[in-house]
Structure 1
Amino acid sequence: MELCTQLSYQGSLRPSKGVFFYEQADGTMKPLPIDHDAIVGQKCSYSEAYQPSGSAKNLQPQDLAFGNPVRRESCYVPPTIDTVMCRFSLRVESSSQTPFVCNSHNVAEALRHFASAYQKAGGYEVLARRYCKNLLLGNWLWRNQRSLGLKIVVNTSRGSSFEIDNALLIDWHEPWPSECKQVLDGLMAELADALSGAQPFWFADVKAHVSASFMQEIFPSQLFSDAKDGSNLSREYAKVSSGDGQLWPSLNAEKIGAAIQLIDDWWSDEADKRLRVHEYGGDKEYLIAHRMPASGIDAYSLLKTVDDKTALLESMQSSNDIPVDIHYLMAVLVKGGLFQKSRSA
């Protein structure tokens, strides 16, 4: 299949922002406070003492001992609180079933046939299981996952409730304890139905109960700001304003979505980490791409082989037989984005 000049998919996984709060005895939700600190930091960066060329600057010993005034925001659990909540909602749609925009009838039909064959082979259950693991393990909390205990509760638009008492006692690798496996299986079935179009959309209300140590530091999403924006803060946190004017520290929807999509360990037989689904297998930790075009396993190379992959899927009897590059390709379509080639190509 040749890529066309207009091809895009809407994302199937649409998380909201997450907010941090605690509950009072009567159940009232109260946002965690955000403090504004003014501290005297240290001059310890490379550029304080070295030129870009690597040669040392002409400095006096006392020049590097002076303080460096810093203004920043911080967020800590109040001293009388031992449990913090973080909550967000997730909407799942079957947007990977067909392109959102496509200016080629043949390409659109090929991609629809691919999605249909993937669904019939049970592929969406494999993806859904991985997304659900990230939800139930609390990976979307990022650094805030590190706590004394972590309870995850997921309530769905079907009226179901799924609960993991302490996500810190399980990890990505199965088998899980039987009660946790039942939770995973149930949540996976609902999410897979939503991805495959068995229902038009599906909602999940996801809530983490974080057992915190005394005045534990909390890490909301950090905003990008600099002097050009008029900000004098070296660190500023994301916030959500409620109707009564209160500011709630928050996790960006993009950050939550990135954690849910940390499922790509298919980039190598010897993969030692799961990557966020990305067209070129981008690795933010090592700043490299694991799916370079020369490898033939990047999203665009695989899109060109959709016809062959559809034929392969139609011959399969079980999702266990689906090659990993097909799971990866569908995960890219679930993520959504622009996949067209250049008009000058």
Structure 2
Amino acid sequence: MAKKDNIASVLAFEKKLVASDGYMFGTTWDDRTQISPLPLQEKSVRGTISNRLKPAIKGDPAKLNAEVEKANLQRVDACALGLEQDTLNLQFTVKVLGGITRPSACNNALFKQSYSTAANTYITEQGFNELARRYASNIANARFLWRNRVGAEKIEVQVKAKNSKLDESWTFDATHFTTRNFDFNDAQIDQLASHIATALASEDDFVLLDINCFVQVGKAQEVYPSEELVLDKGKGEKSKILYDVKGIAAIHSQKIGNALRSIDTWYPEFLDPETSAGPIAIEPYGAVTNLGKAYRTPSAKQDFYSFFDVWARGEKLSRVEDEHYVMATLVRGGVFGESDK
């Protein structure tokens, strides 16, 4: 069979980890029965000049003083706990879906058949066990808190898993689990992972994870919702706009999803302490935008498409870790059509 007869120019997969926005509330560690939504607060501040200056200004004290005297007025959003509150409460849900063996769109029957065979073989041999354990670990270690995790004294993650046949719950002390690797064993993580793996491997089943996280950060301390990306800001606009939903500070669902799928330790530079970024989010090119770097390049044949194009047509990959990466990218979802020209 010629490859051109087995090309899907229309190919898409729906994401299988569907996170909600994360809603932020304030409470106290000793009495969590009383929680209140955290609103955004607007501040007007006068900042100092701190950007790099032109050589002509740097070398002239008079010009430098003139720059420093200029008002750097800013309006920004902020969010903080109440005066008597010392604990952030973050609430969100994650729905884990099955049906990975069927693309949501595919215009080539031969490719669809060969892909389905490869996916079913992976499920039979691996059963999503490794991926599910890593997703469960990122829930247990509270990676989804992002900056709110830094400097926290205590972190408790409460998880409930529900569907028509399941109703179980677990409580994790996130401070016991690192975010730098997945080299640990925990019976509760294994139990949660088994339900995630079962849902992912199913034809059309699901499991809903209800996650309730408490983070002791200190009385009246600032907390960090998602920051909005605002294009074409005009004069007078705020220089920092935070995300809220109907007056409740929140973290974007995309940011929570990025944290959950930060399981890629299979990229080539992970083992190099000088260049490793730790576990990175599953992306077709291993993109880490805040570092301005792609860790999986086509030139090194470590990107998703280099693996997927041969694996989905029936060839085995040289490492099982590469199969994990391919399937994790499909769980992420996306449009992966190939040009048929």
TM-score (norm 1): 0.86
**Separation in 1, partners of 2:296, 2:87:** 41
* Alpha-carbon distance, 1:109 to partner: 0.9
**Separation in 2, partners of 1:34, 1:270:** 41
2:67 aligned residue (64, 69, 73): 64
What percentage of residue pairs aligned between the two structures are identical? Answer: 24
1:163 aligned residue (171, 186, 195): 171
Distance verdict in 2 for CA 1:224–1:322, change over 3 Å: same
Q: Which residues of 2 match residues 1-345 of structure 1 at below 5 A? A: 2-23=6-27, 27=33, 29-46=35-52, 49-50=53-54, 56=57, 60-66=63-69, 67-146=71-150, 147-157=152-162, 158-164=166-172, 166-171=173-178, 172-176=181-185, 181-197=186-202, 200-225=205-230, 228=233, 232-241=237-246, 247-268=247-268, 270=271, 272=276, 273-306=278-311, 310=314, 312=316, 323-342=320-339, 345=341
* Maintained 8 Å contact 1:73/1:237: yes
* Alpha-carbon distance, 1:194 to partner: 0.8
Q: Which moved more, 1:90-99 or 1:54-63?
A: 54-63
* Alpha-carbon distance, 1:35 to partner: 1.5
* Maintained 8 Å contact 2:137/2:182: no
TM-score (norm 2): 0.87
Q: Unpaired segments of 5 or more residues in structure 2?
A: none
* Alpha-carbon distance, 1:27 to partner: 3.4
Distance verdict in 2 for CA 1:90–1:230, change over 3 Å: farther
**Separation in 2, partners of 1:75, 1:173:** 32
Write the letter of the residue equivalent to 2:305: Y
**Separation in 2, partners of 1:134, 1:175:** 12
Query: How many equivalent residue pairs?
Result: 321
* Maintained 8 Å contact 1:9/1:333: yes
* Maintained 8 Å contact 2:27/2:86: no
User: Deviation string for 1:108-162 (max 9, x for gaps)?
Assistant: 1111111111111124011001111111100011011121110001011121001
Distance verdict in 2 for CA 1:101–1:231, change over 3 Å: farther
1:266 is paired with a residue whose SS is coil
1:70 is paired with a residue whose SS is strand
Distance verdict in 2 for CA 1:286–1:83, change over 3 Å: closer
1:263 is paired with a residue whose SS is coil
Q: Aligned residue for 1:316?
A: none
Distance verdict in 2 for CA 1:62–1:260, change over 3 Å: same
RMSD: 2.4
* Maintained 8 Å contact 2:87/2:219: no
Distance verdict in 2 for CA 1:295–1:3, change over 3 Å: farther
**Separation in 2, partners of 1:291, 1:26:** 44
* Alpha-carbon distance, 1:170 to partner: 2.2
Q: Which moved more, 1:17-26 or 1:137-146?
A: 17-26
* Alpha-carbon distance, 1:284 to partner: 2.2
* Maintained 8 Å contact 2:139/2:260: yes
Distance verdict in 2 for CA 1:324–1:333, change over 3 Å: same
* Maintained 8 Å contact 1:10/1:95: no
**Separation in 2, partners of 1:55, 1:20:** 47
**Separation in 2, partners of 1:85, 1:341:** 44
Distance verdict in 2 for CA 1:210–1:227, change over 3 Å: same
* Alpha-carbon distance, 1:61 to partner: 3.0
Distance verdict in 2 for CA 1:175–1:63, change over 3 Å: same
2:112 is paired with a residue whose SS is helix
Q: Unpaired segments of 5 or more residues in structure 1?
A: 242-246, 314-320
Q: Which moved more, 1:4-13 or 1:298-307?
A: 298-307
